[in-house]
Structure 1
Amino acid sequence: MTPPTEPQGRPANQGRRVAARNRAALITAAREVFAEQGLTAPLSAVARRAGVGQGSLYRHFADRDALASAVLDENVRQIEAAADRPDPDLADVLGVVTWHLTRSTAFVDMLRVRGDGEQARVLSDRVRRVLDRCLPPGHRLTADDVMLAVAMVSGAVAGPAPAERERLALAAWRLLGIEVGPLRPHETADDA
Structure 2
Amino acid sequence: MTQPLVPTGRRPANDGPKAAARNREALIAAAREIFASQGLYAPLSSIARRAGVGQGVLYRHFPDRDSVAIAVLEENVRQVEEAAAAEGALLADVLGVLTWHLTDSAAFLGLLHSNGAAGHAATLAHARVLSARVEAALRRTLPARHRLGGGDDLMIAVGMVSGATSGPARESRERRAAAAWRLLGVEVGPVRPFGGRHPTAERG
TM-score range, shorter chain: 0.7 to 0.9
2:12·2:19 contact (CA, 8 Å) conserved in 1? no
Aligned to 1:168: 176
Aligned to 1:44: 45
Aligned residue pair count: 184
Residue ranges of structure 1 left out of the alignment (5+ in a row): none
User: How far has the Cα of 1:121 moved from its partner?
Assistant: 1.1
- CA gap of 1:184–1:111, structure 2 versus 1, over 3 A, is farther
Quick one: which amino acid aligns to residue 62 of structure 1? Answer: P
1:106 paired with 2:108, answer yes
Deviations 1:84-112 (A, max 9, x none): 13543111110111001111133466589
1:3 paired with 2:7, answer yes
- CA gap of 1:13–1:187, structure 2 versus 1, over 3 A, is farther
Structure 1 stretch displaced more, 36-45 or 63-72: 36-45
Alignment partners' CA distance in 2, 1:64 and 1:147: 26
Alignment partners' CA distance in 1, 2:84 and 2:111: 22
- The alignment partner of 2:129 has SS state of helix
In the TM superposition, 1:176-187 aligns within 5 A as 176-187=184-195
Alignment partners' CA distance in 2, 1:121 and 1:74: 15
In the TM superposition, 1:147-166 aligns within 5 A as 147-166=155-174
- The alignment partner of 2:173 has SS state of helix
Structure 1 stretch displaced more, 95-104 or 24-33: 24-33
- CA gap of 1:109–1:40, structure 2 versus 1, over 3 A, is closer
Residue ranges of structure 2 left out of the alignment (5+ in a row): 197-204
- The alignment partner of 2:143 has SS state of coil
Alignment partners' CA distance in 2, 1:171 and 1:64: 31
- The alignment partner of 1:100 has SS state of helix
Structure 1 stretch displaced more, 123-132 or 58-67: 58-67
Aligned to 1:74: 75
RMSD across aligned positions (CA): 2.8
Quick one: which amino acid aligns to residue 183 of structure 1? Answer: V
- CA gap of 1:11–1:27, structure 2 versus 1, over 3 A, is closer
Out of 153, 161, 168, the position equivalent to 1:145 is 153
Runs of 4+ in 1 over 6 A off after TM superposition: 111-116
TM-score using structure 1 length: 0.82
